[in-house]
Each structure stands twice: as structure tokens, then as C-alpha cells.
Amino acid sequence: MKRTMRFKNWYPNNAEEIENYIPDVQKKKHAIGIVSPHAGWIYSGMTAGTTYASSQICDTYVILCPSHTGLGPEISIYPAGSWETPIGDLEIDYEFAKLIALNSKFAEFDDTAHIMEHSLEVQLPFIKKINPSAKIVSICMKTYEYKKCMDLAEAIYKASNEYLSKKICVVASTDMSHYSNAAIAKICDDLAIKEIMQLDGKGLLEVVEERNISMCGASPVAAMLFYSKLAGAKKAELLRYSNSGEVSGDFSEVVGYAGMIIY
């Protein structure tokens, strides 16, 4: 099964343009987890690219994304196959995906959740560019329940223990506040970022709900944080924060973007 590009207008169509969004970072960290935005690259590409460029390459990237369509079960793992990018296909790490499914009470194989979901696809050219031989596991999440986010994190961790010969990175795909003025968005996003910096996935879910923060990928980030702590992470670093107004010039209604690594 091959998942073809549906959102190619969101990112460049050739390697030369893609390179413009990936800066040359000499000192890279071994990222256990990543927070990366998923808007059109003209808006969020430098934030995402800086994050990937600051991380050592891994063999398999487990990409957790929110559901914008409502399709499929609560936690959907894309089956075997590959995803198309402008610079070559990325193969699904099916063996690793199977281990996650076997160890989770809630995750299941399903492709319908991925049919029109952009939040995972826009990550892929970055991964292909920094490591052409990398494989991926694609997981779409509708749930915001703590126990289900934790279940997925534990399933990924158990699977990784059977994959000790490979480096694993869990990518949480999310944008931050949506369509507030830039000042309010920054206040809300700082609250969420504070919880991420403390590696507190439960705290993140709580503050997003209590403060009604319009961060679309809170559950993928929470699951990534739960996994990262199980895998021994001690620190988080905010590499770049930006918003759409910096490109559009309209700061009355912005979307916020954060690029972070957990190590």
C-alpha cells in the first residue's frame, strides 16, 4: 500500500527548495522526542526544519499526529507500505508498527484516519532529507484521554525494547494556539510550553483543557512525553517559537508554532 501526496502545495516540490528550510546545525542532540509544527512550510517550515536539523538522525521515526478529520478509530496505525514525498518514498517500519499494536489496548491498524490527514504528511520530507534510509510508523490520534495516551506511550516503549539495535525518535506533530491575536497566543502557548519543558504530559493535557488552549496536537505531545520519560529523557529544549503573522503580516489572528526536542 502506497500513500501518495495529497498536500504537496503545503511544502516545496524539489530537494533544492527543501534545503532552504533545513539550516546547517553543527551540534546535534540525540532527540528521544520532537515537537514539530504541521502548517504550510511557508509559515512553519523554518521552525520544523530547525528542530529536525538540531537532532541526530534515527533509524525509525514514530510520528504521532492529531486527527483533523475525525475518521478512523481513536488511535490508528497506518498499515504496511510507504508514503510518497517529493524526494522519494518513506517505507513503513511494519515490524515496529506490529509491536506497537500488539502492546497497546487501544491502537489498531487502520488507513482511513490517514486519508486526508495533513499533520503527518508535512513532516515526511524533513525526515527523508535528513536520513534518506529512515523508516516511519504513522499514528493518528483522536483521543485526549490520559490513559490512552499513556497506553500508547508504553506500547511504543515496549516495542523499542525489542528494537534495541535501532535508534527510535517519536515525533509529535502539532501547531500551538489557533486564530488568536499574537499576544494572547503567546500567553497561551507559553503555558503549554512550560508543561512540555517540565516533561509533564499529564500537566499539558490538563492546562490545555482548563485554559481552553487551541493546541491541536496536545495528545500526541503528551504521549511523546510519556514515552520520552520511560526512555530516560531528562530535558526539553525550545529551539524556535514563531507564528503565522511573521509571514502574513497579520498579527490579529495567528497560529503559533513551536519546535522542541526532548533528550
Question: Over the chain, what is the mean pLDDT?
Answer: 96
Average pLDDT over residues 189-206: 98
User: Where does the pLDDT of residue 9 fall: very low under 50, low under 70, confident under 90, or very high at 90 and above?
Assistant: confident
pTM more than 0.95:
yes
pLDDT at 186 exceeding the cut of 80: yes
The pLDDT tens digits of the residues spanning 75-125 come to 999 999 999 999 999 999 999 999 999 999 999 999 999 999 999 999 999
Output the pLDDT for position 255. 98
User: Where does the pLDDT of residue 183 fall: very low under 50, low under 70, confident under 90, or very high at 90 and above?
Assistant: very high
pLDDT at 1 exceeding the cut of 80: no
DSSP readout, the chain? -EE--S-GGGS-SSHHHHHTTS---SS-B--SEEEE--S-HHHHHHHHHHHHHTB---SEEEEEEE-SS--S-SEEE--SSEE--TT--EEE-HHHHHHHHHH-SSEEE-SGGGTT-HHHHTTHHHHHHH-TT-EEEEEEE----HHHHHHHHHHHHHHHHT-TTS-EEEEEE----EEE-HHHHHHHHHHHHHHHHTT-HHHHHHHHHHTT---TTHHHHHHHHHHHHHTT---EEEEEEEETHHHHS--SSEEEEEEEEE-
The pLDDT tens digits of the residues spanning 14-45 come to 888 999 999 999 999 999 999 999 999 999 99
pLDDT at 48 exceeding the cut of 90: yes
- Region at 92 (left for phi over 0; alpha for psi -120 to 50; beta for the rest): beta
Output the pLDDT for position 104. 98
163 vs 39, residue with greater confidence? 39
Taking alpha carbons only, the member of 155, 125, 126 closest to residue 139 is: 155
Output the pLDDT for position 5. 78
Output the pLDDT for position 164. 85
Output the pLDDT for position 69. 94
Output the pLDDT for position 4. 82
Average pLDDT over residues 127-146: 97
- Region at 254 (left for phi over 0; alpha for psi -120 to 50; beta for the rest): beta
Output the pLDDT for position 6. 84
